[in-house]
Structure 1
Amino acid sequence: MTTAVAVGGTLLGSGLTALAAARTERRKDEALGRQQQRQEAADDRARRRDLRVEHRKWRRDSRQAAYQGLMDAAYEAHGAVWQLARLTSDPYDRHRYDTRRGLAIDAVRATRQAANRVQLEGPAPVAQAAADWAEAVDGHIHPPIEYLMELGEGPPSEERTERYRSAAAETGRLVEAMQRRFVPLAREALDELMDEVRAGTAGAPRRPGE
């Protein structure tokens, strides 16, 4: 009888020990599972954060390229219009007029196209400033073209020459004003995107192995 009780006690003790061990193991597995879920969630947040940062970098680079493209195109157009306007001081030469007019028109068209790319990039204040700048560049070509067309028909009057000079000076000032308006707006838009990139990377927890 004593032996049976002892054996039963031993079996009961073994069973309780096994049950306790199983519970402990289950708790460990559950804790490990929760830890793994938290790590996966953290990794997912980090991946999404990295994607947002990369997207902002891409947006900034794309905008910068569009803004620089407009500035380069407007600079070329300004030079082409200036070369065309120089003909107003020389004897009329149809060939030179046609050549320089064609170059100036192409340069103005390229400025329009560059401004259209800025329209796609935004933001709205920069897009509007780009459109106004391109419009001013377009307007700047008209005084020399009109004057040279009249020059081809005969010497213009002093009054007509003065009107041309006044119109050319006015459109030139407008081009410069639109450039001064565009540049700080473009710089501000790029800085804002860069600030967002810095904010997205600042204080971000490092992943294991980084």
Structure 2
Amino acid sequence: MTYTYQYPHPAVTTDIVIFSVRENALQLLLIKRGGEPYKGSWALPGGFVKLDESVDACAKRELAEEAGLQDVYLEQLYTFGKVDRDPRERVISVAYYTLTPSEHLLPEAGTDAAEVAWFPISELPELAFDHTEIINVARKRLAAKMEYSTIGLQFMAEEFTLSQLQIVYEQATGKELDKRNFRKWILSLDLIKETGKKYAAGAHRPAMLYSIKDRDSVEIIR
């Protein structure tokens, strides 16, 4: 049986917020749009869902096409559906977010993007569509999870200092943390171990380098 619906169908898109820590700052991966609308403006990676694919598949495809990234774990964030959010037509967007060490990523502009680059969360350019709103929601979700979970370890490289890990939590939550209490808490979780190596930066005393005992045991962003 063929069904005919009386209601017009809105388009569906996906948008992806990728958090990482670079140069001791929480940063986002953005693409410069290669086409209209907002040609030349910075935006989140994303695009329209095809009729024969799921929204999850679309998010992964768009991330590969626009930023050259594959095998990135994505978590659904929220659905954005203001009537005028896209000047082309009625568009509803399913947003995703993820957090990852930036050295695991080698982004490059794909077929749908003119450029791809990292931006500190505190120095974002003017963005296309409602992507500023999407980023704000993603950051609030991230900050809330960082308050009670170990997901901050997902940002870390193979080896890191406790000071670098503390910076991750401070950047994500926007709160200054007591050094002694933070170290006591993170070590009590028994998720990281000393590597036996030290990291020297400037005139500061060398700091012990740590690594994650078992990355599979680290809480994912859910």
Q: What TM-score results when the alignment is normalised by the length of structure 1?
A: 0.23
Higher normalized helix content (fraction of residues): 1
Q: Which fold has the larger relative contact order, with Cα–Cα distance below 8 Å and residues 6 or more apart in sequence?
A: 1
Q: What TM-score results when the alignment is normalised by the length of structure 2?
A: 0.22
Higher normalized strand content (fraction of residues): 2
Q: Select the structure of larger CA radius of gyration.
A: 1
